[in-house]
Amino acid sequence: MNGATSISYDEVVAWINTFAATVRDQKEYLTALDSAIGDADHGINMDRGLQAAIVKLPGLPARDIGAALKSVGMTMVSTVGGASGPLYGTFFLQFGTATAGREEIGLDDVVRALDAAIAGIQRLGKAEAGDKTMLDTLLPARDALRDAAGSAASIDDALARTVEAAEQGMLATTPLVARKGRASYLGERSAGHQDPGATSSYLLLKAAADTWSGTARGGTAR
């Protein structure tokens, strides 16, 4: 990459905007996944919440990463129906709390923030790995990111490993029987369908990698 060792406020905002654009583009796909095992509204709800959230970002008073992410979280809670609002709201609120007052963050900060976000989701949803939820994407991604940071990997390399683990976790939800959420009502019939929350979580992490890579910054990824 271009030698950068930190992620700026502008790059965090770009991450959220990229995620919002991706969800808008994939809205029908996410809703189709949800129609098989949920309420058929995941893509629609996520798009509505993220579009409402990104409108507020330019008007925030300070270049505070935590404040920006908390704003996204609060907007998700107030505008997104079903389980997605509280869960994604918690993700961004906890990520924001862990990065409060920062204008830039390093890889170790991202690990701690992601850890806090996952812990918040687990407290709220009481889910674990293998329950066929967004955690089946987030937990292996967090572990891959932590391992990469511990080996002094570049931001590019760490994000690449994270996205690979996230994708594997997302795909691994297909044969699982849901044990939490609306899909759990279907019992064995939930098997054979990729989880929509795990899918949107993968898109969230891929948006970060796409936005924060050396190539995206104008450098040459390595």
173: Cα separation from own chain's centroid: 16
The sign of the torsion formed by the CA atoms of 176, 180, 182, 187 equals positive
Mean pLDDT by 10 residues, the chain (222 residues): 74 98 97 86 95 96 95 96 91 98 96 98 91 96 97 94 98 86 68 93 98 61 26
Tokens of 209: 């990698």
pLDDT value for 109: 97
Torsion of CA 222, 117, 50, 102, to 10 degrees: -70
pLDDT value for 188: 75
pLDDT value for 201: 98
**Domains, the chain, with CATH or none:** 6-212 (1.25.40.340)
Cα–Cα distance list, 180 to 4, 37, 76, 129, 192 (Å): 40, 12, 21, 11, 16
pLDDT value for 65: 98
pLDDT value for 62: 87
Q: At residue 84, what is the residue type?
A: S
pLDDT value for 74: 98
pLDDT value for 222: 24
pLDDT value for 187: 66
The phi, psi pair for 126, rounded to 5°, reads: 60, 25
